[in-house]
Each structure stands twice: as C-alpha cells, then as structure tokens.
Amino acid sequence: MNFPDELIELDAVGVKKAAQRKLLHELGIKNTFVPLNRIHFLGRVLYAAPNEPCTQTALAEHELDYILVSVLDPVATRNLPDTDLMKLNPDEVSDVRWMAFSDFNYMKCSPRDHMNTAKTSDSDFCRSSITPWLRGLLARGLLQKLFSWAEASCGNHLQESFLAEDQSWDRTKIIHLSSEDVK
C-alpha cells in the first residue's frame, strides 16, 4: 500500500510521515505528540532474523529499517498517564516499556535460554523480549549512540556537543546487522 505523502524523499519526510501513521496504528500515539519536526532520521539498518517466538514455520523477517528518533515534549506529556499517550494495537504490539539505556545492562538471559518467556521477574527482562533489530542496535553499540544523540538533542549539552553527536551518524550508509548481532 502506497501513500503519496510517504514517498517524499527530501529530508526523509515520507519516512517520517509513515512513522507517524504507524505510531498511531501500532501504539495509538497521536501525531500531536510526535510532530514531523520532532522526528529525526539518523540512518538505516538492514537485517534478517527468524520470526519469534520460533515455531515450526520457516518464516523470517528481512528488512531495511530506518532509524528514527523522537524525544517526547515533556510539557505536552507531563500530566498524561501512559494510557492516554498510548493505546496498543494487540494485533501489532504485545508489550511496551519505557527504558533508560542503563536498563539494557540488566538483561540477564539470552534468547536461547528463554525463547518462550519475555521476563524472568518483574525487573529482569530478557534479551529475547526485545525485537531482533533492537538487539542488533544494542550489539553494535548503536543503541548507546542513539541514546547519546537523544540526550544531546534535549539541550542539556553545548550546541557543539550536539553537532558532534549529530554528525557522527552517516545518513547515506546502510548499516548491515549480522545474524550474530540480532541473536
């Protein structure tokens, strides 16, 4: 299915519009919370991974995904409970969780250890509970780089610091995640 506005390549506007549409469809997040000018294109990743949880079928995902970042406006979302910000579509998303980068350091189990369980306790989430592309970003150090970019973009650092973070992303290159990266 093509939407003409989502085919605009200049400044990744089409991809950003598609992201808005999918945020609403999958997470129920309205465009007012994630306006186009707050969605930032950082790069692209190519990966392949078997569908999870593993079943008898031989289905897999093989995708070229865009790395888009948006930092929610704290003023617009300050008094909203999560239920007002997000309304998950159960056909698309099974669970979401707000996480700091440091939370990823506490993922203690590997996908092979716990393929059929998303967590071992309320505070101990497994790597298998996150999507393969996110595991790939984590394995390659790109998730930490993404968090650094987001932190610098919030204005807590000098403008030069943000420019250095921003320029470290090569938006012309496709990052290839290996099968080991996404495990």
pLDDT digits (tens, 9 = 90+) for 40-50: 999 999 999 98
Give the count of beta carbons closer than 10 Å to the beta carbon of residue 7: 12
Q: Which pLDDT score is estimated for 21?
A: 97
- Angle (CA) 131 134 138, round 5°: 135
Tokens 């987001």, residue located = 150
Closest alpha carbon to 46 in 139, 163, 155, 182: 182
pLDDT digits (tens, 9 = 90+) for 63-117: 999 999 998 887 777 777 767 888 999 999 988 888 888 888 776 555 444 344 4
- How far apart CA 81 and CA 96 sit, in angstroms, is 14
- What are the φ/ψ torsions at residue 126 (nearest 5 degrees)? -90, 155
C-alpha dihedral sign at 138, 141, 147, 153: negative
Q: Which pLDDT score is estimated for 131?
A: 86
Question: Confidence band (pLDDT; 50, 70, 90) for 121?
Answer: very low
Q: What is the pTM of this model?
A: 0.82
Packed helices 142-153 and 159-167: angle between N→C axes, nearest 10 degrees = 150
Q: If you average pLDDT over every residue of the chain, what do you get?
A: 84
CA distance from start to end of the chain? 30
Whether residue 60 contacts residue 51, with contact meaning beta carbons closer than 8 Å, is answered with: yes
> How far, in Å, are 14, 40, 43, 50, 60 from residue 10 at the CA level?
8, 13, 14, 33, 31
Look at the domain 4-176 and name its fold.
Nucleoside Triphosphate Pyrophosphohydrolase (3.90.79)
Look up residue 116 and give its two tokens. Answer: 């059929």
Collect all residues with Cβ–Cβ distance below 8 Å to 132 and sequence separation of at least 6.
47, 49, 52, 61, 182
Closest alpha carbon to 45 in 62, 58, 60, 59: 62
